Structure 1
Amino acid sequence: MIKRTIEENIKQQLQGKRKIIVLYGPRQVGKTTLINSVISDFRGKVLKINADEQLYNDVLSSRDFSKLKGLTEGYDLLFIDEAQRVTDIGINLKILYDNLPELKIIVTGSSSLDLANRVNEPLTGRIITNNLYPISILEWQNFTGLNNFEINRQLEELILYGMYPEIFSWQNFNQKRKYLEDLCNSYLYKDILSLANIKYPEKLNQLLKLLAYQTGQLVSLQELATTLQIHRDALTNYINLLEKSFVIFRLSGLNRNLRKEVVKMDKIYFYDTGVRNTLINDFNSLQFRNDKGQLWENFILSERMKVNAYNETFVNSYFWRTYSGAELDLVEEKDGRITGYEFKWGSKNSKAPVSWTENYKASSFSCINTENFMQWLKQDEKII
């Protein structure tokens, strides 16, 4: 099993001050496997429940303490998998938490959308939340023992097929593509459609393809809405839905000088480049692709996001662009310090734009390419 960086975090949470531990993440990302590993050496009696099973679902949504107590009596730890399936899960967890002070609770959800809405308000002050993403390249290196040079030789395959755990169990490229197609059809669409009232589901598919083609580019919501022939409010709702379902994430523009800097449009990226390539049905070698720069930018941003999240690094992330065309792919603001980054495929290097150094004199700058990206990601790596 590939050891996940946040496993030790969750173990410490389980041993620390009593809280309900919540693990969010998309389907197939390894949430159940991770929690089973966390609780494998737990000293106490564990009740594992899959909320897809109606028998347990009825009790867990009952708001009846006698039923809830009857279900959990004699157990030291309750693990609810796919907890977003339970009606009023937050209120029922609150009843358990408030009335059974010795019971430890862990829940997982395949989408933060429904689970977050049902959990956050009833359980204010009672929960610790964690996010699990596709395998990080640092987790993959720790698992395989490959050095940076050997990882670099695998880089194109990792970018093309992405980092979902099961993708590593398939050796044949056709099998990898088939898995990704099944993954997209099962979680990108069906789960999202079941969790929200989407009036035109076919528009969601069209939107994802448009976003896939515009990876790394400024995205105009009005232009997308016009192309899809839907209201801008509906489009905004779709994008929020895709964000909460761990399909895409956004970067906003750094806003320090409104007259010079582009801040009204966002850039949108995919959590997994394999999913992005599946949406546009393109797995050609990078040497034959015009979008290899976009793919590299998306891949490295996703990896940086994982590192920051797992290390609990409190950082604000932006892109930077001026109306004159100067730009940086990533700007991080941490503890008052600003650092700009430009991503280049291969061994290419670059200098900071003159307008960046003139306007942000106290900032620093780095060019991240395929030769130094592993060292960059490892700067604050949490040892696992």
Structure 2
Amino acid sequence: MLPYERPHGATLRQRLREPVHLLNIVVGPRRVGKSTLVNTVLQDFTPHVIYVSAEPTGVESRSSIGFPLLDDTFATEQTVGTGKIDGQWLIQQWNEARRRAAKADGSFILAIDEIQKIPRWSEIVKGLWDQDRTAGVNMHVILLGSSPLLVQHGLGESLMGRFELLRMGHWSYPEMHSAFAMSLDEYIYFGGYPGPMNSGLWRDERRWRDYVTGSLIEPSIEKDVFELNRIDRPALLKQLFWLGCDYSAQILALDNIAQNLREPGEGAEPHVGTVAKYLDLLGKAGLLAGLQKFSGSMLRQRTSSPKLLALNSALMAVASGYDFASAKADRSRWGRMVESVVGAHLYNSGGQDLLTYWRKGKLEVDFVLSRGRRTVAIEVKSGQASRPMPGLAAFSSNYPDCQRLVVGEGGIPLVDFLSQPAEHWLSEFQ
């Protein structure tokens, strides 16, 4: 268990100490510490806790969080390895928690990991939760899963008004620095995955690359995208991922992307609509986003050429083929990695629906944060402080009420900028 707890832990503890009102939904990409954080928080509430996982492989763990999760008879009948993870299994877990909640002194907690693995989970949870509210059952419920699957398969309709989200994105620089004494340059290259840092794999770059590819990237695509979304051309989606990560922080037209994607044995290039759909799925899986152009018109934004953005700089590093020393020595590559880190930080810290870029002819602004009439234009500088910024000046001319920020040389130090969420930079200029 990591000796560092993410700030989300304090938020979850507070919610669990309040009266039962809403479901607690913990969402985020793979390997960002959702299960570890919930297990750590639940230690404070033992023995009034049941924690189970709907992952089809493996067996329920009891020792990992330090207290018995289920009595022996129930655990034997409902081990995850039996292959009986379905709606009936979910109802049985819930009913066992109800039974123990009725005997508990105070509130009880039921936590279900990998909830998206259960068919029709949201409809079942809705029915069970509504029954509990009618009966006055004093039981908190925590559901854990990956953001795209939860949002697309239940939260939008079945559970509307019944849950409160706890979003856990990729680890920020302050978190990685606090947990692993990671330097800024190391964060820019090795990114915000705690696993390889905690194990020391990052010190052997070949092993680190193998780990990121085999234990992070491939499961995220195979399990979070392929299993619960119809993907007619899976090889094409993987090509898009690798191309997009290598070109992170660059603007590419969808038709140009399509021209560079072609599956073996297939002559026709993919339709731009397919590329756009797959890029959207990769973004929701916390892997690769396509930022839209700021124009003041939602329609024009949706039809613009995307600015590709790897949502963890480790993905860009692995896709590029550069090792750490070579990436730092190539000023152009390092500059793009710095820009990509800034964009990923804004996106992961709450800016998914606020973040765009701007371009007019050859003039560009790296990132634009906007909500309503409030607009912040952000230029990232990793080179000489005296470099002119005609894009920022042109944007200000078009949008005179905007606020301008320079991040890096001659502006806000990169460490300071990465220490504040996207919302901070919008609220600074209210």
TM-score (norm 1): 0.85
Aligned length: 369
Structure 2: runs of 5 or more not aligned:
58-77, 102-107, 262-268, 424-430
The structural deviation recorded for 1:267 is: 0.9
Counterparts of 1:175 and 1:380, CA distance in 2: 32
CA RMSD of aligned residues (A): 3.1
TM superposition shift of 1:114: 5.3
Other-structure match for 2:305:
265
Is contact 2:189–2:313 with CA below 8 Å preserved after alignment?
yes
1:270-349 superposed matches below 5 A: 270-283=310-323, 284-288=326-330, 290-308=332-350, 316-323=354-361, 325-334=362-371, 336-346=373-383, 348=385
State the partner residue of 1:165.
194
2:15 is matched by which residue type in structure 1? Q
* Among 242, 247, 250, the residue aligned to 1:209: 242
Query: Alpha-carbon deviation of 1:342?
Result: 0.7
Contact 2:54 2:85 in 1 (8 A): no
- Match for residue 253 of structure 1? 293
Structure 2 residue matching 1:133: 3-state secondary structure: coil
The 8 Å contact of residues 97 and 110 in structure 2, kept in 1 or not, is answered as no
Q: 1:172 to 1:276 in 2, by over 3 A?
A: same
Q: How does 1:1-384 map to 2 (within 5 A)?
A: 1-16=3-18, 18-42=21-45, 45-53=48-56, 55=78, 58=84, 61-62=87-88, 68-70=94-96, 72-75=98-101, 76-100=108-132, 101-113=137-149, 116-143=152-179, 154-169=183-198, 170=200, 171-182=203-214, 183-228=216-261, 229-256=269-296, 264-283=304-323, 284-288=326-330, 290-308=332-350, 316-323=354-361, 325-334=362-371, 336-346=373-383, 348=385, 350=387, 352-353=389-390, 354-369=393-408, 372-379=413-420
Deviations 1:19-61 (A, max 9, x none): 1111112222111001112222126611111102583674761
1:35 counterpart SS class: helix
State how far apart, in whole Å, the 2-side matches of 1:380 and 1:43 are.
Answer: 33
Identity among equivalent pairs (%): 22
Give the direction of change, closer, same or farther, for the CA distance of 1:257–1:71 in structure 2 (3 Å limit). Answer: closer
Could you tell me how far 1:104 is from its partner in structure 2?
0.9
Once the two structures are superposed, residues 329-384 of structure 1 have per-residue CA deviations (whole angstroms, 9 ceiling, x without a partner) of 111225633221111115635555332232222322221116702222335699xx
The letter of the residue matching 1:159 is: I
Whole-Å separation in 1 of the counterparts to 2:345 and 2:90: 44
- Give the distance between the partners of 2:56 and 2:243, measured in 1 at CA: 37
Determine the C-alpha separation between the residues in 1 that align with 2:208 and 2:417. Answer: 29
Gaps of at least 5 residues in structure 1 are none
Q: 1:120 to 1:379 in 2, by over 3 A?
A: closer
The one-letter code matched in structure 2 to 1:132 is M
The one of the two structures with greater contact order (alpha-carbon pairs below 8 A, sep at least 6) is: 1
- 1:63, CA displacement in angstroms? 9.2
Whether the 8 Å CA contact 2:29–2:146 is kept in 1: the answer is: yes
Q: Which amino acid aligns with 1:2?
A: Y
Contact 2:291 2:357 in 1 (8 A): yes
**Equivalent residue of 1:253, what SS?**
coil
Which whole-Å deviations, capped at 9, do the CAs of 1:213-239 have from their partners, x for residues lacking one? 322222212222233212233222211
- CA separation of 1:268 and 1:81: change in aligned 2, threshold 3 A: same
